[in-house]
């Protein structure tokens, strides 16, 4: 068998495939038509119905998968509402290794400058358990 015959056969197959594709494309273009108004409205109605149905399915699926805690309330509900913001808190009695102090200046990051009963200025910090639960401001004890 000659090399030229093999490549000619492959070339003919490629040309035949291209001709077949062109013929099928021409047939498809002749067959396809623009939809009239009745067909178009039917198509639009089907699409809208599909969107509505899928929207309801997604919404109800979301409702089922939301934890009940998020439905009842958010972060403030779980943590407890600050009902006594307007009134001053009672002074808690100091424990061993604790001192009372007046807050002179808030420094940030849970640190503050304070003055104890003897009048000594000290750098103090708010313990982690009290952060974001008990709000301390300048002038508090």
* CATH code for the domain defined by 96-141: 2.40.50.140
Q: Which residues, in sequence order, are CB contacts of 1 under 8 Å at separation 6+?
A: none
- Strands, E, within the chain: which ranges? 101-108, 111-116, 121-125
Q: Which segments of the chain have a pLDDT < 50?
A: 1
Q: What is the pLDDT of residue 132?
A: 76
pTM value is 0.35
Q: What is the pLDDT of residue 69?
A: 57
DSSP code at position 116: E
Predicted confidence (pLDDT) per residue in 27-39, tens digit: 998 888 888 899 9
Phi, psi of 61 (to 5 degrees): -65, -40
Q: Which residues, in sequence order, are CB contacts of 111 under 8 Å at separation 6+?
A: 123, 124, 125, 126
Distances (CA, A) of 130 to 47, 55, 84, 96: 56, 45, 16, 18
Q: What is the pLDDT of residue 127?
A: 81
CA 99 to centroid of chain Cα atoms: 44
Q: What is the pLDDT of residue 135?
A: 78
CA angle 75, 76, 82 (to 5 degrees): 160
Rounded to whole angstroms, the Cα distance separating 112 from 122 reads 8
Q: What is the pLDDT of residue 75?
A: 64
Residue linked to tokens 């639960």: 133
Q: What is the pLDDT of residue 125?
A: 84
Q: What is the pLDDT of residue 44?
A: 95
Residue 47 corresponds to which tokens in the numbers above? 């699409």
Q: Could you state, in order of their start, the residue ranges of all structural domains in the chain? A: 34-79, 96-141
């Amino acid at each position: 068998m000659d090399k030229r015959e093999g490549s000619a056969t492959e070339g003919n197959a490629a040309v035949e495939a291209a001709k077949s594709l062109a013929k099928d494309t021409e047939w498809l273009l002749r067959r396809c038509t623009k939809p009239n108004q009745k067909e178009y409205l039917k198509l639009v109605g089907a699409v809208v119905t599909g969107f509505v149905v899928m929207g309801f399915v997604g919404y109800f699926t979301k409702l089922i998968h939301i934890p009940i805690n998020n439905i009842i309330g958010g972060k403030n509900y779980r943590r407890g509402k600050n009902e006594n913001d307007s009134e001053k808190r009672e002074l808690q009695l100091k424990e061993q290794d604790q001192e009372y102090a007046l807050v002179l200046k808030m420094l940030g990051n849970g640190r503050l400058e304070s003055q104890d009963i003897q009048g000594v200025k000290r750098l103090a910090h708010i313990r982690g358990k009290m952060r974001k639960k008990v709000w301390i401001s300048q002038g508090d004890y």
